[in-house]
Structure 1
Amino acid sequence: MSTKFSVGIWALGPCAERFVPTGYRPEIPIAERFKMLSQIEDLRGVELHYPTEVPSIEEVEELSKKYNLAVVALPVHLFNKPKWKYGSLSAPDEKTRREAIELIKETMDVAKKFNSIVIIWPGQDGFDYPFQVDYREHYKNFVEGLKECCEYRPEVKIALEYKMTEPRLRILAGTIGICLTIVEDVGYDNLGINIDVGHALLAYENMAQAITLAAMKGKLFHIHLNDCFRRTDDDLIVGSVHFWETLELFYWLKEVKYDGWYSLDLFPYREDPIEAVRQSIENIKFFMKLVEVIDRRKDELREVFRTYNAIRGVRFLWSVLKEAVKES
């Protein structure tokens, strides 16, 4: 089965940041973004924040058909307005929590139409200071809110995405371990995890280990691919910084038989976004070629795993790289 590539449509946005709040390029209408992305070979899907990047359901349906780009995921915009400043599902105010639940349910209705998943990244659900929250109440509210959403449409998958920090200094769903705990405590089959590999790096996790843990629990619902320097959520071109760890990631995605979308979450401030997407796809293809070489020599890798011999492992990886380059 061919690899299914998709991208968050926000990659073609202005890419605003604190020093240039207007962004580095003009706002591009969603229809134009679909058209631009349709020119990228191998790209078959898009993600759109709901409701901000969905001008209307009818228009997006038309654009999806016209440009042959499936709507694969709808991340809920629960972090982009002042009203979410103390959180969404975990907010201290019941009215805010209710608004968050209703927005998630509305997003699930739309996701049903597109046969897509819903992504919840609770970027504002957390704290900034010691003694700011009652951790028990904070967690309980979050879990209960997720339960209600899962019950609403059991046929629609929800993928919880974790991140350690930013915008809150400590985000509630901060690591793979906490995220798996939340998913287990909610206890619904339609709740799983979206692993943004840059967020895993930011938490000083090993990307391959994180996806393997989620897959072992049957909860690896989706992935966001990018790279970063582990200081901030850079959303760089895939494999541009952590080459060997990214190779290991793709090896284990194959091992756990991940068959979902390979979705790019990029934020190319100064780079041409179309070229950043193209280069990421090319890099992924090369990593997959390297994985094919590893598979041909699996007995050697098994011996490394059996003995924990790191030097033998490093030699093996370099020989794999040389072999793949020769075949190119």
Structure 2
Amino acid sequence: MQYSARINSYIKQGMSVPEALAAIAGVDGVGYVDLNYPEHLVGGGVGAVKEALSANGLRLNSIAVRFRSKYRSGEFTGPETNISDDAYELVGAGVRAARDLGSDLVTLWLGYDGYDYAFQKDFVTATKRLVSVYQRLADEHPDMRFSIEYKPYEERVHTMIPSSGFVLYLLQCIDRPNVGATLDFCHMIMARDYPAHAAALLLADGRLYGIHLNDGYGGSDDGMIVGSVHPWETL
């Protein structure tokens, strides 16, 4: 078995993307990487990343599209249609980057699609919007897989996709063979989900596209070392 690594911890130490990839290549058992789009491709672009991956014997596992503060009113369920259109275009650009780098997997964490106050959201309409977005992506890019990463809160007080149960419901509504889920261990602990339960159900349905291994105490996204707090749940 080979693992995939993310490069943020290397970037935070001041490394460039090629330098981070070179460092990761020296870790036994790691043959793949996950990159954020667009920030990890800023500067050299796809060409430079492709060259660095090849030089270090690594492959791209997935592109994780990252929405920053521009989308704080909501990537796809907010009040601003132009922002939703822009968010969709950003995902499309991420799809092209993943395809060019040899991956068929795009991971979407919609951190701003949520609400902070009671009566702030029409939940039914917002959910239908999410379903429509994933259906459209799946139909327009049948060669790609789209993975839903959930988190109960942060950036918003409440998110539109807060738990593994809601993800399973959403996948039923989307009803596309190339849409699945990525489970982040710390997000699951925050949601009071039991990791093995969610993983088993998604795996049985052929919809488990990834697992982010980390740990935390459950109050926030601590991002701690694997198994440092919940060793048995990790196993």
* TM-score (ref. length: structure 1): 0.69
Contact 2:46 2:101 in 1 (8 A): no
Aligned partner of 2:168 in structure 1 is 180
**Residue 229 (structure 2) pairs with residue 227 (structure 1):** no
Between Structure 1 and Structure 2, how many residues are aligned? 232
Aligned partner of 2:5 in structure 1 is 7
The residue matched to 1:239 in structure 2 has which SS? coil
User: In structure 2, how many angstroms separate the alpha carbons of the residues matched to 1:40 and 1:149?
Assistant: 35
User: In structure 2, how many angstroms separate the alpha carbons of the residues matched to 1:97 and 1:146?
Assistant: 13
Contact 2:11 2:17 in 1 (8 A): no
Q: Which amino acid aligns with 2:174?
A: V
Unmatched tracts of structure 2, length 5 or more? none
CA shift for structure 1 position 115:
3.0
**Residue 170 (structure 2) pairs with residue 162 (structure 1):** no
Aligned partner of 1:245 in structure 2 is 233
User: In structure 2, how many angstroms separate the alpha carbons of the residues matched to 1:93 and 1:146?
Assistant: 19
User: In structure 2, how many angstroms separate the alpha carbons of the residues matched to 1:194 and 1:120?
Assistant: 9
Aligned partner of 2:101 in structure 1 is 114
Contact 1:97 1:145 in 2 (8 A): no
User: In structure 2, how many angstroms separate the alpha carbons of the residues matched to 1:52 and 1:184?
Assistant: 32
Q: Which amino acid aligns with 1:67?
A: N
Q: Which amino acid aligns with 1:101?
A: Y
User: In structure 2, how many angstroms separate the alpha carbons of the residues matched to 1:187 and 1:223?
Assistant: 21
Unmatched tracts of structure 1, length 5 or more? 15-24, 248-328
Contact 2:150 2:161 in 1 (8 A): yes
User: In structure 2, how many angstroms separate the alpha carbons of the residues matched to 1:65 and 1:173?
Assistant: 36
5 Å-filtered alignment, 1:270-281, equals: none
User: In structure 2, how many angstroms separate the alpha carbons of the residues matched to 1:124 and 1:87?
Assistant: 5
Contact 1:160 1:194 in 2 (8 A): yes
The residue matched to 1:48 in structure 2 has which SS? strand
User: In structure 1, how many angstroms separate the alpha carbons of the residues matched to 2:150 and 2:107?
Assistant: 10
- Give 2:75's match in structure 1, choosing from 66, 88, 95: 88
The residue matched to 1:53 in structure 2 has which SS? helix
Identical pairs, percent: 28
User: In structure 1, how many angstroms separate the alpha carbons of the residues matched to 2:93 and 2:11?
Assistant: 24
- Residue deviations 1:143-183 (CA, integer Å, cap 9, x gap): 21121111111110011001111111111111001111112
Aligned partner of 1:54 in structure 2 is 41
Aligned partner of 1:270 in structure 2 is none
Higher relative contact order (CA 8 A, sep 6+): 1
CA shift for structure 1 position 140:
1.7
Q: Which amino acid aligns with 2:82?
A: K
User: In structure 2, how many angstroms separate the alpha carbons of the residues matched to 1:90 and 1:70?
Assistant: 34
Q: Which amino acid aligns with 1:13?
A: I
Aligned partner of 1:204 in structure 2 is 192
Aligned partner of 1:34 in structure 2 is 21
Aligned partner of 1:297 in structure 2 is none
Off by >3 Å, runs of 4+ in structure 1: none
The residue matched to 2:106 in structure 1 has which SS? strand
The residue matched to 2:41 in structure 1 has which SS? coil
Aligned partner of 1:73 in structure 2 is 62
Cα RMSD (Å) of the superposition?
1.2
CA shift for structure 1 position 232:
0.9
Range that drifts further, 3-12 or 153-162: 3-12
Contact 2:25 2:56 in 1 (8 A): yes
